[in-house]
Amino acid sequence: MDKNLVQSDARLLCDELPPVGPLALGLWRYTNTDIGHATNLLEAAIDLGINLVDNADVYGLDWGGNGFGACEELLGQVLSGSPELRDQIVLATKGGIQPPVPYNSSSEYLRKACEDSLRRMNVEQIDLYQVHRPDMYTHPAEVAATLDSLVEEEKVIALGVSNHSPSQIKALQEHLRNPLIAVQPEFSALHLNPLRDGILDLAAERDLVPLAWSPLAGGSLATGEGIPSELAAVLDELASRESVDRATIAIAFVLSHPTSPIAILGTQTIERLEKLSEALQVSLTRADVYKIIQASEGVPLP
């Protein structure tokens, strides 16, 4: 029998943090100001084993939000009302985007961004703090010094980066005293760049946990809109075989890489979280994942 490649076991980000599930709750769309709904969504995620919560200070600037910091503020209100939830999650957030600049990882700004995130989320410590996008006009030594000081002051437990290239990650790590433990690229059955741009190779080399954002390509892998018909057909074929929907197969595809990525789910409905969690019961073989890749790219592999 062909081996199932879907990595459904818990992931260990680092020794200082508890294990996390292979699915994470992404808060980019956490813009509904109904505290009851926001609390219920977080509780439902935890019940499903989705205990990594991924936020960012810039979330809320779009997707119907009330502005910069809105999604962190909403989470802060949830945690204030239900403080027992804080110990049940691994809390990740990101900083370094400064609209309309757009990027600022200078020591002064990045420190302020982290401290503002702590205040908005009503927490004393961030479990995983990530530089959201690389600021090419701040030397990595300056970024590293800021991040190290945040760890040493116990405002942050662990460090990661988002949307960085392999060379940018290596340059930053060269100056850091603390290890980077996670990298957050866009990765889906429609966006396969990390398979070939060196990101997942670097994750394998340095034991970084990949946090895959937009694993449903903004929802298009669920709706089928704007994706190659061949890809939709393959996903539908596998979905029928596994008795799940197309989106669940797309999530299982992300979980199948040997670096054990975590798929960040952006849905804000409990029902969709429950359906997508079925990806952990899906079986995908080596032939299946390569079939998805070839259908996505529209050409046979050499």
Confidence of residue 32 (pLDDT cuts 50, 70, 90): confident
User: What's the mean pLDDT in 190-199?
Assistant: 97
pLDDT of residue 300: 92
Handedness of CA 299, 280, 130, 116 (dihedral sign): positive
Residue whose tokens read 């508890």: 18
Q: Is the pLDDT of residue 1 over 70?
A: no
In three state form, how does the secondary structure of the chain look?
Answer: CCCCCCCCCCECCCCCCCCECCEEEECCCCCCCCHHHHHHHHHHHHHCCCCEEECCCCCCCCCCCCCCCHHHHHHHHHHHHCHHHHHHCEEEEEECECCCCCECCCHHHHHHHHHHHHHHHCCCCEEEEEECCCCCCCCHHHHHHHHHHHHHCCCEEEEEEECCCHHHHHHHHHHCCCCEEEEECECCCCCCHHHCCCHHHHHHHHCCEEEEECCCHHHHHHHCCCCCHHHHHHHHHHHHHHCCCHHHHHHHHHHCCCCCCEEEECCCCHHHHHHHHHHHHCCCCHHHHHHHHHHHHCCCCC
User: What's the mean pLDDT in 11-30?
Assistant: 97
Report pTM.
0.96
User: What's the mean pLDDT in 180-184?
Assistant: 98
pLDDT of residue 189: 98
pLDDT, tens digit, for every residue of 89-140?
Answer: 999 999 999 999 999 999 999 999 999 999 999 999 999 999 999 999 999 9
User: What's the mean pLDDT in 216-244?
Assistant: 97
d(CA 96, CA 109): 8
pLDDT of residue 90: 98
Q: Is the pLDDT of residue 44 over 80?
A: yes
Q: Is 109 a catalytic residue?
A: no
Confidence of residue 65 (pLDDT cuts 50, 70, 90): confident
pLDDT, tens digit, for every residue of 136-160?
Answer: 999 999 999 999 999 999 999 999 9
pLDDT, tens digit, for every residue of 286-299?
Answer: 999 999 999 999 99
Q: Kindly report the average pLDDT of the chain as a whole number.
A: 97
Confidence of residue 209 (pLDDT cuts 50, 70, 90): very high
Question: Which is catalytic among the residues 30, 59, 103, 129?
Answer: 59
Domains and CATH numbers, the chain: 23-227+260-267 (3.20.20.100)
pLDDT of residue 64: 85
pLDDT of residue 33: 84
Give percent of the chain with pLDDT exceeding 90: 97
